[in-house]
Amino acid sequence: MGDGHRDLPQPIIPISFAIEKRGRVKQKQLVSALVVLSGVGLFLAFTISLWRGPFTSDKALSVVIYGVIAGAALAISASGLVVTYTTSGVFNFAHGAIGMLMAFIYWELRFNEAPFIGMQLPAPVALLVTVGIIAPLFGIMVERVLMRRIMKAPLVVQLVVTIALMFLILALVKIAWKDDSTRPFPAFFGQSSAFAIGGVNIAWSRFITLLIAIGLAIFLRILLFKTRIGVAMRAVVDNKELAALNGARPDAPSRLSWALASSLAATAGILAAPEVGLSSVALTLLIVNAFAAAIFGRLKSLPLTFLGALILGLLSTFGSTFWDLTNPRWAKLPDNIPTIFLIFVLLALPQDRLEFATTQGLRRLFRTPKLHEAAMGFGAITLFVVAMSYVLNDTSGLNRITTVLVTAVLLLSYVPLAGWAGQVSLGQVFFVGIGILGFTRSFAGQGRPIGFVTAAVAATVAGVVVALPALRLRGLYLALATFAVARGASLFYSQPFAFGSRAVEFVRPKIFGISLDNQRTFIFFCALVFTAIGMCLVAVRRSRFGRRLIAMKDSPAACATLGVNLTMTKLAVFAMSASIAGIAGVLSSMNLLSGSDGKLDAIGGLGDTLIAVIGGVSLVSGAFAGGVFSQFIVFIQEKLVAAPFSGLFSALEKFGPAFASLNIMRDPDGAAGGFVDGFSRMMPWNRGTPAAIDPNEIGDVAGAGDLRPFTNEDLNNLDRRLGVPAAFRLPDHDIDVASLAGSALRGRN
């Protein structure tokens, strides 16, 4: 009886299937090994070409000691990212901004007069108040107000909300503390207080960083794996409902994890402030470097995270000690070592599996416009822009209208990639720079229109080059990879074959003999470019390729099952998006009459992402709405600069987009969603067409027929979810709910 299970038939696995699976595993391992070898080869190439020597035992010891200390500082910040991701499933882009904010608060309590007290607090008291009270309360508030609402939201919603939080914090710091003033931030025990190990002087402030990192590693390991609350924290992210059934309170572990992560970010920010200065952007980007260490640990392993931070610290210290960085082309290399490390770590990770059965919230479904309908809409936009150029006919007004159109063209690049294909890219600003570079290097000084072609081709090639290694990545890893490319672009732009250290000036080309020197003529030209690209995108959306992009966003596994070549589809959509961004770079250069990398930073690219979401990333018309919103914020800020509350509105350029983009939690379709639906139904040929389905307006049908009886309202909600037109729905008096429920129960039994 006990051995009866041996008589049961065992599943037969075909030999060919096992061999094929083993071959795929070996192929993935081979790719990862090649990536690691490429990274080692690049490091050796930099070392050989930039070596300044000599190599001595004292220098080697200093590299090891200072590298370990630098890695400890990164490990403190990276561990906070791992804690929040393993317990909530949300990657917090605002982690660095939280640490920066707490560093400013600590400075206010320690070195400035503390509010409501009128005196400087001692260092231990200020540290306890900041790290032990203010930071945890801030983390709990963030979890309660924002993160709890997006834990099960799509990735783009999670990323946009955390990026918006980062911009909100940057705006808050700009309002409360002016960055243009120098603030002393002495290190703990002072820089002169040090001790020596083997002839290497170590400041006590840096040694404290190492001790704190070791203590936090031990504390987090015990907390997450040896305590009941730690087990509950890890269980909540796996299955919140199942954890609740086993007695855990899901909200409590989530609050604790965000409170703990905020305290870790505060600790990292306070320890880093004496090294880089009390600067909002510098501190934020410094803690952003911890992304690489967190990804090295796969966002779940604290030991691997600390190991990644240690390797990164040693690499950075080795480069600053033994590399000759006096050449301007390599001046930005030390700042980009974490970025390069992040790119190689992401590429070396095993390829994610395709998602088969995932549940997502309903999206509002919009009717795809026909080409003549889209032409009417773009014609209306062009007439509106031309009319506004005569209303705002001064230099400032014309420049503002031009910027609206240039921004709108850039936002069009997000539509096919993020809006339709679901490929979250945070590096579109890199393709803008490639477009500018391609334009300035091809007859731009002579005003020849061939620069448009070379810019689009250069950006397309760059899109394919970026997409080829990124094909192994999906979701969060793809977003971080494109963000890393945008951050590392500064090193590429500083090379002599790119921008170098100069800006390239040129004249505007003539199009069919028409000069674009007149600003109003140039506005009309930008409107035509926006219309042409927009019409092409509408045609793509109505084509077979457009339907393939939508299907790939809904279910990549289903597309692969049906024979869709996901690799070629991703390459095509990346190339398309990059070419549009490159053309936007051309228009930007023509507007400024120069090309440079001055405004091509990665943080600015994140702002463009927020603007795209505000307008509506899945709608072509959303690009124009986003462009208008971006300049409307600037216009309001300029008008209120002399108002009594000018200090409050000084950061409106960051605060406005960040605050508006939080609306994605309620309406992922952006500002253009409702307008497009209402405008399309006003057309004579669309009268009587039902409005687009808004999931927020549909009642909940959970448990109907199982935990509770069916009602007429449940059936109506089901019809609305399925998109059944009102004309085909049964009236309430014709529905026998009791018989339906009885039939369902009989069918179950």
Q: Which residues contact 114 (CB under 8 A, 6 or more apart)?
A: 108, 120, 121, 126
DSSP letters for 264-305: HHHHHHHHHHHHH-S-HHHHHHHHHTHHHHHHHTTTT-HHHH
User: Which is nearest to 216 in space by CA: 265, 278, 276?
Assistant: 265
DSSP letters for 102-151: HHHHHHHHHTSPPTTT-SPPPHHHHHHHIIIIIHHHHHHHHIIIIIHHHT
At 316-352, the pLDDT tens digits run 999 988 998 888 888 888 888 999 999 899 888 765 5
Whether 99 shows a pLDDT value over 90: the answer reads yes
Q: Give the pLDDT confidence score for residue 119 in this predicted structure.
A: 72
Q: Which structure tokens are listed for 74? A: 């990164």
Beta bridge partners of 51: 323
The model carries a pTM of 0.83
Greatest Cα pair distance in the chain: 94
Q: Is 194 helix (H, G, I), strand (E, B) or coil?
A: strand
Average pLDDT, the chain: 79
Residue indicated by tokens 């990292």: 268
Q: Which residues contact 146 (CB under 8 A, 6 or more apart)?
A: 161, 165, 662, 665
Q: Give the pLDDT confidence score for residue 746 in this predicted structure.
A: 41
Cα separation, 84 vs 262, in Å, equals: 9
Q: Find the range with the poorest average confidence among 16-30, 167-181, 372-386, 655-669.
A: 16-30
Whether 603 shows a pLDDT value over 90: the answer reads no
Q: Which structure tokens are listed for 30? A: 């081979």
State how far the alpha carbon of 571 is from the alpha carbons of 32, 469, 536, in Å. 21, 10, 18
Q: Give the pLDDT confidence score for residue 744 in this predicted structure.
A: 41
Element (DSSP H or E) covering residue 196: strand 194-197
Q: Can you list the pairs that 552-559 forms with residues at least 24 positions away whose Cβ atoms lie under 8 Å? A: 552/421, 552/422, 553/420, 553/421, 553/422, 555/355, 555/356, 556/354, 556/355, 556/474, 557/354, 557/355, 557/356
At 257-285, the pLDDT tens digits run 899 999 999 999 998 888 888 888 888 88
**Mean pLDDT across the stretch 628-645?**
74
State how far the alpha carbon of 522 is from the alpha carbons of 508, 514, 515, in Å. 9, 10, 9
Element (DSSP H or E) covering residue 239: none
Q: Give the pLDDT confidence score for residue 530 in this predicted structure.
A: 95
Contact 483, 426 (CB under 8 A): yes
Chain centroid to Cα 118, Å, comes to 40
Q: Give the pLDDT confidence score for residue 408 in this predicted structure.
A: 94
Whether 241 shows a pLDDT value over 70: the answer reads no
Q: Can you list the pairs that 238-246 forms with residues at least 24 positions away whose Cβ atoms lie under 8 Å? A: 240/151
Q: Find the range with the poorest average confidence among 189-193, 302-306, 448-452, 681-685.
A: 681-685
pLDDT cut 70: percent of the chain above it: 74
By CB atoms closer than 10 A (0-12, 13-18, 19+), residue 701 is: middle
At 461-520, the pLDDT tens digits run 999 988 887 777 888 888 998 999 998 888 888 887 777 666 666 677 778 778 888 889
Main-chain phi, psi angles of 613, to 5 degrees: -70, -40
pLDDT-derived band at 359, boundaries 50, 70, 90: very low
Contact 259, 140 (CB under 8 A): yes
Cα separation, 268 vs 649, in Å, equals: 30
Write a three-state SS string for 340-380.
HHHHHHHHHCCCCCCCCCCCCCCCCCCCCCCHHHHHHHHHH
Q: Give the pLDDT confidence score for residue 4 in this predicted structure.
A: 45
The helix-helix angle for 428-440 and 602-615 (nearest 10°) equals 110
At 698-721, the pLDDT tens digits run 555 555 555 556 676 766 766 666
Q: Which residues contact 345 (CB under 8 A, 6 or more apart)?
A: 292, 295, 296, 308
The residue that leads in pLDDT, 182 or 741, is 182
Q: Which structure tokens are listed for 447? A: 């005003």
Helices and strands (H and E) in the chain: how many: 31, 6
Q: Give the pLDDT confidence score for residue 596 in this predicted structure.
A: 57
The identity of residue 588, as a single letter, is S
- Identify the sign of the CA torsion 151, 611, 568, 38: negative
Cα separation, 704 vs 428, in Å, equals: 45
At 147-196, the pLDDT tens digits run 888 877 788 888 889 999 999 998 888 888 876 566 778 877 655 677 77
Q: Give the pLDDT confidence score for residue 741 in this predicted structure.
A: 44
Cα separation, 280 vs 269, in Å, equals: 10
Q: Give the pLDDT confidence score for residue 536 in this predicted structure.
A: 95
Q: Which structure tokens are listed for 665? A: 């939690």
User: Which is nearest to 419 in space by CA: 590, 226, 609?
Assistant: 609
Residue indicated by tokens 């059934």: 245
Cα separation, 40 vs 53, in Å, equals: 20
3-state helix, strand, coil in the chain (%, to 5): 70, 5, 30
At 567-600, the pLDDT tens digits run 899 999 999 999 999 999 888 888 876 655 556 7
Whether 123 shows a pLDDT value over 60: the answer reads yes
Q: Give the pLDDT confidence score for residue 133 in this predicted structure.
A: 94
Q: Give the pLDDT confidence score for residue 602 in this predicted structure.
A: 84
Chain centroid to Cα 331, Å, comes to 27
Q: Find the range with the poorest average confidence among 205-214, 514-523, 600-609, 724-733.
A: 724-733
Q: Which structure tokens are listed for 8? A: 């049961």
Q: Give the pLDDT confidence score for residue 183 in this predicted structure.
A: 75
Beta bridge partners of 595: 504
The identity of residue 562, as a single letter, is L
Measured in residues, the chain has a length of: 749
